[in-house]
Every structure is written in structure tokens, then in C-alpha cells.
Structure 1
Amino acid sequence: MTNTPSNVAFGTINVAAILAESAARSPEAVALIVNGEETTYGSLWKQTRAYAGALSARGIGPGDRVAVLIPNVADFARAYYAILALGGIVVPLHALLKATEIELVLRDSGAQLLICAAPLLEEGAAGAARAEIDVVSVMAPGSTGEPPRLEAEAATVSPIASYVLCRPEDTATILYTSGTTGKAKGSLGTHFALMEQVHVLLTGTFDVRAGDKVFGGLPLFHTFGQTCVLNAGLRAGATIVLCPRFTGEAALELLHEHKVDVFFGVPTMYAALLEAAKTNPARSGRLRYGISGGASLPLAVLEQFREVFGVEIHEGYGLTETSPVASFNHVGIKPRPGTIGTPIWGVDISIARPEVSDSIELLPTGELGELVIRGHNLFKGYLNHPEDTAEAVVDGWFRTGDLGTKDSDGYLRILDRKKDMIIRNGYNVYPREIEEVLSQHQDVLSVAVFGIPHETHGQEIAAAVIAAPGTTPTSEELTAYAKARLAAYKYPRIITMMPELPLGPSGKVLKRELTALHMNNSGAAAFNPGGGN
């Protein structure tokens, strides 16, 4: 785990080189725009080196773990690259965590310091105190009683000259998985995996160019925003237009104001953007394409986006453990709707028999099974969880827990999470198929389908639906709509209208929370609805 700077002139690497080298090439180019304020590459690297000097004065060095609790503002980039430049390990924290949750991550990761944005100090400082570690603030006005300010400390010490050279296998980040199926674990990302991911994304996967305006609304504490937007964007020499607090209206305004070229988002963000465009029509005309990941993109959203914005959404697939992108509908090739594209360069994705856990038994082309991945993009393992690592990585393949197929052209389709699959009366039911049908209803904004225990059928199919603004669809109406389009064993017998869905940091719906909500509200014995077999 400990990072040790190499004393040799080969086999060295550091993710911080992304910013350092782009600053050397194009110091006057704009790297970041936040709330109308521009920061050039040269200034960002200078500020980063100053932050690193302050952290070094606090004793932070190679292998030390520093937690970061900062929203999508320039200080995230400064802190992120400053820690990496020292050979340290970045532990990004979800901006909505409470003090007790922050304490757990700080203790589990072994963080020695928390860098916290002033607006988040109420929970951040309390979590750091519980974990018995120091906290320094950024974005702070310097009020009495607040923790020390990193900006002030940086002004009193010498900046570092450059970044520390690390070994390729050294840990760069500890990213806590969203925990959609259980307790979150720290995924160890290496300098090599993160750098190689960026280079592969920029050479034939994405199309991000120097001078492009890239939308930065994905949370930077999450692997999607961190690698695909921040690291890839700065490596390309693009300008990242950061959105500190995402709403559809805020995103649309930034697209218009800054003439954004590439939009990165998860499906819920695209749905919100389309909703905003109903009252503030798209008028930019510069957008080249969108990139979607984090969860399955409903075909209805893809088609509406093409109609409203006149461009394609390229959908891909990945996980925190795969740095994150593993497959993609490569830009330059017409995307195949309903697929997650083909494996990126240097990565293998195959379909394995899901019920075999102690070895990888690959299935023939076209058969349904579990997606397994191997390649340069794999993580190093789960921190403090060797048993989970051994269960997840078998025969050199990472078991994703996702069920899908691979066709003769190499295109992959995801049906569902292995643990999300519903078995009703012995039949396998895949929630995504039902979600696709319900999402085509004109009054449905968003939908999540999940299983609940049933004394007769084993599991019953339930759906949580968010209605489109200004509409009032009924559960009975939506049930009839689904029944007319799905086999009798597939359509949902229970549909609940909700104001919002519980989401993880990557935008995935936390279906276990929906199941728990239903169980708490009604009790297991109550779920014996009518509707026949």
C-alpha cells in the first residue's frame, strides 16, 4: 500500500503530470471555469504547487492518505493534484455525507488529514474530530473559530518544484464504491491504471480536443467525473465548465453561455436537461455529442435528446473498479442504441456463467451471463477487504455482478444487476426491460423497478415512478400501460408514485432502499396483491 518514490530513471509515473505537462504546453489556455471565473492551466498548476507546499509543511508525503470533501470547484482540482504531486493518496468524499459516515471513511482509509470546503465544514469538521485527525479548509473567508485555511498556509511556505515520481503500481486514489448492493468499500486505483485509462479514452474512445468546452457537472469525488472529465479533459487541453450544484436549468444555462462542446452525464442528468429544455429551448448549436454512463440510459431519453439537441448520446459502461470505462460506443462510429458498445483498447470483456463463483467459465457468443473484465484498467483491490478482493477477481477477471450478452460484433448489452434480477413464479424478470417500457409513457419522467418478497410468487414486481411535471398519471393507468406491452409474468403489480428516487453518488438508483421502504411501510406479509399469476 505504501507509495515509495523510485530512485531510478525508468518505470515512474504520476497522475499529477496531467496538469503539470498541460500547464507547460499551454499556460495561458483556460483550464477551468466556475461561476464565470476562469483559471488558466499555468495558474492552476502554480496554485497546486503552492497547496502541495503547504501540505508538505504539514508532513504529508509519499503514501500518506488525505481525504478531500470539496464540491465541483477549482479547489477540488488544486487539492487533488497537490496530494498526488507529493506522492500521496487522494481519498475523495461524497459531498452529502454526514459526520458519522465521514468518520467511517476517514478511519477505514487511514486518512491523516481532511481538506474540507468551508460550506461543508459542519459535517466535515465533526467527522474529522470523531476520527481524531486534523482538518484544513478551502473556500473559507477566514472567520474566527474556523479550521486553518489551506490558502493562507500556502502563502507562507515555498511551493514544491514539481511532482514526485511514483511507481506504476503505487496507489493514487481510494474511491469508495457507491454501495448499491451493500456496505461501501475502498477501491484502490493505481497511477498506471488511471493514466492509461485517460490515454485510451483520448485515443479512439472519446473525441475531446484542446480548446473544447467540456461540461463538468458530474461529481468530481466520483470516478466518472474524476477520470473522464477532470483528468481526461485537462490531459486533452480542454476547458472544463464546472457546475457546483447540478440542476437541469443550471446545466442548460452553462451549455448556452459557454457553448459547450461535450456533455458528460448520467441518465438522470439527461432527463433533467431535457425537462429544462421544455421551457428554455436548446439554442447553443455547438454541442457535438453527449456521453452517458453510471446507469442504463433509457432509449426514450436517447431519442428525445437527439430530437431536442440534434446530437447523439454515446453510452458506455464501467465501474469504480475498472477506472472506470470498460466499454463504449466509440465516438466516430454511429452508436448502437440499447448497447454499451464494445470493449475499449486493451480491455477484454467476456460473458461468464454467473452461478460458478470459484472460477471463470466463459459462455458462447450470444448467451446471457455475467460480464467479466480484464485489462490495464483494473483496480488494485479493496482496502482492508482481501476476501472481497478474492471474490471479485477470479482467474485474472473482475466479476462485475452485471448480467448481459455479447454479440458476434463484440457489442455488449446489459440486462441487469445479478442481484437485481427478480424471480417471479420461477421466471427470470429483468427490471431494465420493464423500466424501458414504462419510460416510454409520456407522463413518466423516471422509473425504477425492483423486487419485493411475496409468499406465493417468491418475489413480486414493483415500480417507483416520478411523474413528469404537470402530469398526474395514476398507478392503475401505468399498470395497464405495462400490462398491454409485457408478458403476464413481467408487468409490475405494484406501482408507487414518488417525488424522487434514492440515488447513489454515480446517479444509480439505490433499489435496496426502495425495497426497504416498501417493507417498512407495509410489512412483508402485506405484499400479497391481486393481479393473478
Structure 2
Amino acid sequence: MKTLNALFKEMSEVESRKIALVVGNEKYSYFDLDKAADLFASDLIDRGIQPGDHVGIWSFNSANWLIAMLGIIRAGGVAILGNYSMTYPDIRDLFVMTDIRYLCYGTSLATIKMEGAVEKMCEELKLTDDKVVDITAGHVSFLDRIGETPKNKAQIDQIAERPEDPTRDAVVIFTTGTTSLPKAVLLNQNGFMISAKAMSETRKDIYGAKACVGLPLFHVFGLNMILAYFHLKSTIYLEEKVSAERMIETTAKHGITDLVTVASVYLQIIKHPDFSRIAGLVHVLTTAGGLLTPVQYMKLETSFTDAKLFNEYGQTEMHGLISLSPTDTPIEKRAHSLGKAYPGEEIRIYDEKQKCFVETGEIGEIIVKDDSQLNSYYKLPPEKQAVDADGWLHTGDLGFLDEDGFLHMAGRIKDIIIKNGENISPVDVETAVTQIDGVSEVKVFGAPHPIFGESVECCITLHDGIDFDEETVKKSLKKTLTPAKIPSHFFVFPEFPLAPSGKLDQRGLKLLMLRKLRVEVVKDELEKGIVVADLTVKNTSYNIMPVTSMVKELAYSMGYGSRRVREIVHAVEEMLMERIINAYEEVGDIRIRIIFCQEWMRVEFSDSGNEYYIEKNKDTSASAKIILKVVDNFATMRSEKRGVYYCMDFLYEDDFSIKDFIISHDREVK
């Protein structure tokens, strides 16, 4: 079994001068990182740290953050990784829960928003000055001390030589479980090494020499990916604060070929005005922490000139990795699955009710067995631990294995909302909303979101006579909740539905919420226009029947009267014939799009033929008269992307609601 200490010692000897880590203006070679970790460990020993002592890290990403974690482990301590985006009360409670005896602090969201946050933390945790270490980037740099000799080197080496060192408690990462209470996951060096090696061995033929990592180090995925690249002697460019703009700039400036971040950042990257700077440069994209739909997956990968996207599946309890796709897996397979077990690991699907494993293709709970399992949940009794008596770790996720051994996700047993890769407890949000004056009942759900994976949605009832101002409430919640936890929408109900037993009917309430949410989504979509049909009339036959039949069917279903339907269909026929006859030699294929807008149904035509003008009181051709008599608006439009296209708009009937029509015909909400 190998330790993190042994990995960096080996890298320090084999690749001593090669750059391992670049953060901002700081560059650390493998030798520098190894030496800095020893220096930090020695400093902690001078401060009185004892084996097993818990040491909190509370800071944005930095070189000092990574050095502190490595140094804590080398000194025999346990690194408690604090979330830098948490509010002060939340991070304080987690540090109290995990009994930290030392604190390494830098800049965090709480220290920016709250003056004196560090001093207050030390006071509440009863930490004296000798138990507190400043690791703020820019204030402290270990590059200035590389020439020093760690005076406690013998003790550091002695700790590393202990037989129990690879598997002892080394790191705590916080997660959220089915009970919606924070859990402190105790992890070990051996587990990190197994996961990182599995990743690096699988990807060694495709991973490049430089990787830009846009992930928080307190997240197991961020640590796992950094260690995987270190296994391959690569250079990590670590973002202090993650954004699409920063990652594009870093990648373009340093000629980086590999990107590692969450799906939402990738989606922002491909939409960024400067995306073209890196579209042909990047060859490997790695993400985790949330599922991409197959369409999103393929769109993301094909937006780059020549890149492969890998969406890894893992959990904190498995040191960040459960399954991954072999490098040569086709995009269609990667887009629809979560990959396979790595060598030495076993993945099975379990039916909790029947107490048995299920057959290939059947859905059940995903359970895993491997030496990379967590040590335990800190302070939780045996019955609340994740690993059962037979050594299987229960993920709480539903899935199935196909005949090729690829794992597919089928949902989550847990109620936890996963937004942008972050686990959000509904109870935390409900507790905060309940404290708002006038709110009677609160229930929070996750809902599918095209970018973040899930959004936070809040259902409430109010006390009699109370008016609800959503924007005021959201502003108030910023004082107690992180931005990710603030609900996207609030839905006010006169009362919550109850089950026959008298308990809250959660399933029924969620269904009502999803319908209300769909109304809000449709409202936003109608502002842009919803394309419901995209057809092409080929120039080989110019068969217009499919188009006119589609228009006729839609018009009838939308409540237009028989006479109006005939007029609409006639106008569409005339427009098609006008393009075919008068621009026959140039027109080519004709593309027709039918679009629902807020006030009218639009039929768009585009082709490569001569430009066509219709103006009232000027055009006297038979087709122009028919079209102008029927349409409520006709326009010739131009854009750089689409060229010239023609729009025919037909106002809806007075008693027709396009929103109700879309929702009643929507298969997404059942």
C-alpha cells in the first residue's frame, strides 16, 4: 500500500525540477511541493500536534492549501476540509462537530463577508494563537523557505514508516446523507491512491502533460483528479476561483490540453465569446458530480474540435471514484452510461426489498466493494455506517448494469438535491424559510434543470392575511443561506395535499409543484419562441404535403376555427409555391419551422433562392394578396447566421391560452 507521502517522495526524486503545480503566479516543482509539505509538518509538530489531532483547512484554493493538507497528514494529523463557500455558522458547526484542535485559515467567503470571522472562529472553538496558522495566498509562500531543513524530519519519517499510516484516518470531507444531516467522511491515504491510480492507469494514453483544474480542493473529485495527474507526472494549473473566463484564459495562455471542472462550467465555456481560443486546443474533458443528459453530453464534446468527454461516477465514501469509461468507449456509450468498474473493484445491483442481487438490466441500489472504501462516518453509530456486514458500500443511488458491464443511473434514493455538483439538504433550506414571518408550512424539492442538473424549488403556505414578496424573501435568505441553496422559485399553496393517513402527500405536492414550475418555464420559453416543428421540403420533389398537413393538424388542435384553418393552410401553400415557382433554379431545399410565440403561431421559411418582398398596398400578385389577406403579420428577416428568412404570423384566437395548451400536451410532467 502506498501513501501520499511516498508518492511525492518518489516524484521529488524522479522529477525533481519538473513543475507540478501552478496557482496564480506561484510555481512549485515536485521537489518544492515535497519539501514544503515537510516544512509545514515540522511547523505543526513544533506547535504541539499529536497523532490523530484534527486540523481544519478553511480557505479558497491555493498552493498553500494543498501544502497544508499534505503537511497535516505527514505530521500524523487528520485534515478537516472546510467548504470555503459556506456561511460562518455552517462552517463553524462542522468544525465543532469534528472536534478540530488546529485551524489553517486563508481567504474564504465567510471571511470576506464577515469582519473578524477568523477571530470569532478561534474564540468559539477555544483555539489559542499557537493552534492557528495563516495560509493566506499572498501573505505566506513556502517558495521562500525551500532552502530550509525541516528540523523535525526524523519524526516525520518515523510517522510515515508506521504500518498503519496508509489506512489510518487522514482526511475528513463533509457530505450530506439520506437523513439530510451533514456527515463527516473519514478517508485514508490508501483509498486516495487506489482511486487516483485507477484513473491515471485508465487514462494514461490520453491524459496530457498539462491540466487546468477548476474544482474546489475540499471536494473529493478535485483531490482525486489532482492526484491522478500527479501519478502521470503532469503539471496542474489550479484555479483559485472557478469561472469559464478564468479557465479559458489559463488554458489559452499555457497551451493546456486537459480540462477538469463541473458540467455547468463547461456549458458556460462553450457559450463564452472567447471559446474559439481553446476549441481546437483541448483534447480531454473530465467532469463528475452531476449527470449530463445524452444531448448535453454530445453537444459539449462536439463543440470542441477534437476532444473526448469523460463523466466519472463516484462518491466521497469511495474516495471519489466508483466507475469510469475506458478511453476507447464510443461517445454514444459514454453519453448514456457511467462507465465500468475498475480492476479490483466490484459493482453490483441490489434489491433491498428482496434482499438479493438483481439480474443484468434490472434496476436496484448500486453497491460497491473495494479497498478504497471510507474508514467510517465520524461519530455515527454502526447502524448508520455506509458499509454493511458483508463489506458492501451502499451508495443510495439507483441504477442497472447492461450486458457489457456498463453502469447506468436510474435515479436517487436520497432526497438530497444535487445542484451543480453540490449536495444540498432540503432541511437546511426549509429551516431558513420557516423563519420568515408569515410562512406557515415549507417543503423543498429538487427539480430537473438543463444546466445545474437540479434546481432548488420551494413550496409554502402562508398565515392568513399575509402577502408574499418573493424578491424580498430571496434577499433575506442571503443572510443565512449560500447562493446555491436559495430557491429558484417559491410556489404559494392555500394548503398542502394530505395522504389518507393524514400525513403530507409529498409525491402529490411535488407533482403540483412541477406543474407550476412548468408554467414558469413555458413563460420564459415563449419569450424566445418554442420551435415545435422543423421540416425540409427537398428540391428533388418539392413535396409540400407533410408541411401543410402538419400546419393543418396543429391549427385545428390549437382551437382555430375551420375557416381560419383553411386560410392558414392556403397561405402556407401559396408561400411554398411562390418560392418553388418564382425562384426554382436557385431555391434549393426549403426549410420550414413552426414556432409558438406568446401571441401568435409563426411559420418561418428559408431557402437559397432570390429574396422575396411583400408590402401592403404595393404587391398585387395573386400569392401576395392571398398571404396578406390571411396573415396578421409578414416580415422578411435577415441575420448573419441564417441569412434571409420569411415569417408569417397568425394571432391566436381570443379565448386561447398558448401556455395552457403547451402544458396540457407536455409529456415531461406526468
TM-score by length of 2: 0.60
Q: Helix, strand or coil: the match of 2:170?
A: strand
Q: Distance in 1 between matches of 2:237 and 2:74?
A: 24
The SS at the match of 1:327 is: coil
Match for residue 137 of structure 1 among 106, 131, 134: 134
Structure 1 counterpart of 2:318, from 319, 322, 342: 322
SS of residue paired to 2:187? strand
Hey, what's the Cα distance between the residues in 2 that align with 1:243 and 1:294? 18
Q: Is the 8 Å Cα contact of residues 45 and 152 (structure 2) preserved in structure 1?
A: no
Question: Is 1:340 matched with 2:338?
Answer: yes
Deviation of the 1:123 alpha carbon: 3.3
Instruction: Work out whether 1:395 is the aligned partner of 2:390.
Output: yes
**2-side partners of 1:388 and 1:20: how far apart?**
39
What's the CA shift for 1:128? Answer: 3.2
Q: Are 2:390 and 1:406 aligned?
A: no
Pick closer, same or farther for the CA change 1:125–1:450 going to 2, 3 Å. Answer: same
Residue 366 of structure 1 is matched in structure 2 by 361
Q: Is the 8 A contact 1:14 1:84 kept in 2?
A: no
Matched residue of 2:375: which SS?
Answer: coil
Could you tell me the percent identity over the aligned residues? 22
Tell me, which stretches of 5 or more residues in structure 1 are unaligned? Answer: 1-11, 143-147, 423-430, 485-529
In structure 2, the residue matched to 1:46 is: 35
The equivalent of 2:86 in structure 1 is 97
Write 1 or 2 for the structure with the bigger share of helix: 2
- Once residues 129 and 479 of structure 1 are traced to their aligned partners in structure 2, the CA distance between those partners, rounded to angstroms, is 59
Contact preservation (8 Å) 1:32, 1:38: yes
| Higher RCO (C-alpha under 8 Å, 6+ residues apart) | 1
Q: Aligned letter for 2:312?
A: G
Distance 1:450 1:395 in 2: 38
1:342 aligns to what SS in structure 2?
coil
Q: Is 1:187 the equivalent of 2:237? A: no
Q: Rate the CA distance shift 1:150–1:115 in 2: closer, same or farther, 3 A.
A: farther
Once residues 145 and 27 of structure 2 are traced to their aligned partners in structure 1, the CA distance between those partners, rounded to angstroms, is: 23
Superposition deviation, residue 223 in structure 1: 0.5
- When residues 451 and 131 of structure 1 are mapped into structure 2, their CA distance, relative to the original with a 3 A threshold, is closer
What does the per-residue CA deviation read over 1:153-199, in whole Å, with 9 as the maximum and x for residues that have no partner?
99797363554224133111111114586111111112221222222
| Alignment-mate amino acid for residue 391 of structure 2 | G
CA distance in 2, matches of 1:105, 1:447: 25
Deviation at 1:136, TM superposition (A): 1.4
Change (3 A) 1:171 1:447: closer
Instruction: Give 5+ residue unaligned stretches, structure 2.
Output: 418-444, 460-495, 499-504, 534-553, 555-662
Report the AA paired with residue 473 of structure 1.
E
Deviation at 1:333, TM superposition (A): 3.1
- Counterpart residue number, 1:16: 5
- 1:256 and 1:70 mapped to 2: Cα distance? 27
Question: CA separation in 2, counterparts of 1:70 and 1:315?
Answer: 27
* Bigger shift: residues 56-65 or 371-380: 56-65
Bigger mean CA offset, 376-385 vs 267-276:
267-276
- 1:385, 1:244 → 2: CA distance? 33
What amino acid does structure 2 have at the position aligned with 1:62? P
Which moved further from structure 2: 212-221 or 63-72? Answer: 63-72
Distance 1:238 1:208, change over 3 A: farther
Q: CA deviation at 1:290?
A: 1.0
CA shift, 1:241, in A, is 0.4
Larger Rg: 2
Question: Where does residue 75 of structure 1 map in the other structure?
Answer: 64
- Aligned position for 1:523: none
Q: CA deviation at 1:272?
A: 1.9
Q: Please report how far the alpha carbon of residue 371 of structure 1 lies from its aligned counterpart in structure 2 after TM superposition.
A: 0.7
- Per the TM alignment, residue 141 of structure 1 is displaced from its structure 2 partner at its CA by 6.6
- Report the alpha carbon displacement of residue 450 of structure 1 after superposing the two structures with TM: 7.2
User: Contact conserved, 2:248 with 2:274, CA < 8 A, in 1?
Assistant: no
Kept after mapping to 2: 8 A contact 1:256/1:284: no
Distance 2:16 2:185 in 1: 33
Task: Give the secondary-structure state (helix, strand or coil) at the position aligned to 2:347.
Answer: strand
Does structure 1 retain, via aligned residues, the 8 Å contact 2:12–2:30? yes
**Structure 2 residue corresponding to 1:275, chosen from 246, 253, 271:** 271
- The residue identity in structure 2 corresponding to 1:104 is D
How many residues are treated as equivalent by the alignment? 446
Alignment of 1:514-525 (within 5 A): none
Does 2:237 match 1:248?
no
* Secondary structure in 1 matching 2:11: helix
